[in-house]
Chains A and B, each alone.
Chain A
Amino acid sequence: GNSVTQMEGPVTLSEEAFLTINCTYTATGYPSLFWYVQYPGEGLQLLLKATKADDKGSNKGFEATYRKETTSFHLEKGSVQVSDSAVYFCASNTNAGKSTFGDGTTLTVKP
């Protein structure tokens, strides 16, 4: 079945540092891929998505590119802010409509 593996956390960075959170997937076929963000005390919110190979999703300065050759969808941001502190989840969507989530990576950005 489908699965998503993402970089273990927690990740602690200083403000304005470069962020990468790795995500790889296994799937039959070509799933759509997503990054969700969970701020403290809240549910998950969709951050960005990519539906086919070589697509780049972007939002709020975050980017991720769907790489079929490496089955990856790494999340990047060039300059993080304290307000980016949250838990980030990589997810894939199966044809049956179920979403498979990674375990989440906790990011803490210090001023």
Chain B
Amino acid sequence: DAGVIQSPRHEVTEMGQEVTLRCKPISGHNSLFWYRQTMMRGLELLIYFNNNVPIDDSGMPEDRFSAKMPNASFSTLKIQPSEPRDSAVYFCASRPAGTGPEKLFFGSGTQLSVL
């Protein structure tokens, strides 16, 4: 199994541009999570999906952030417009529905830098 695949690995963009981060969960995993990691705030859960449906988006910082999961094998996290304070590492993680963190697998993350 290839694991959770995120792209791009690195993204550098200018303030005001739209940024789209992509995630392919492990096949058969029904739950997908988006996290943001910064030095100041640590690891924050932004949103998670069960069976492609957003369950809890209370961690999404503001309306500039949106996430979609059009099918079981693909999710996107979009920031529009981006701001320098969005610079962080964004992780996607997946696990089979009904399981706990012991079954949670993380991707390698997308390092986002907004100039």
Contact = CB atoms under 8 A, between A and B. Distances in A.
Contacts of B102: 32, 34, 46, 49
B101 A91 contact: yes
Given A41-B108, A43-B93, A45-B106, A89 B43 contact: yes
Contact of A97 (B31, B41, B93, B106): B31
Interface string A29-56: 0001010100001111110010000000
Interface residues of B, number: 23
The prevalent SS among residues of A at the interface is strand
Interface in B92-115: 93, 98, 100-102, 104-109
Contacts, number: 55
B28 to A, nearest CB: 17
Contacts of B37: 104
19 contacts: A32-B100, A32-B101, A32-B102, A34-B101, A42-B109, A43-B93, A43-B105, A43-B107, A43-B109, A44-B43, A44-B91, A46-B102, A97-B98, A99-B45, A99-B100, A99-B104, A101-B45, A104-B37, A104-B42
Interface of B: 4, 31, 33, 35, 37, 41-43, 45, 48, 56, 91, 93, 98, 100-102, 104-109
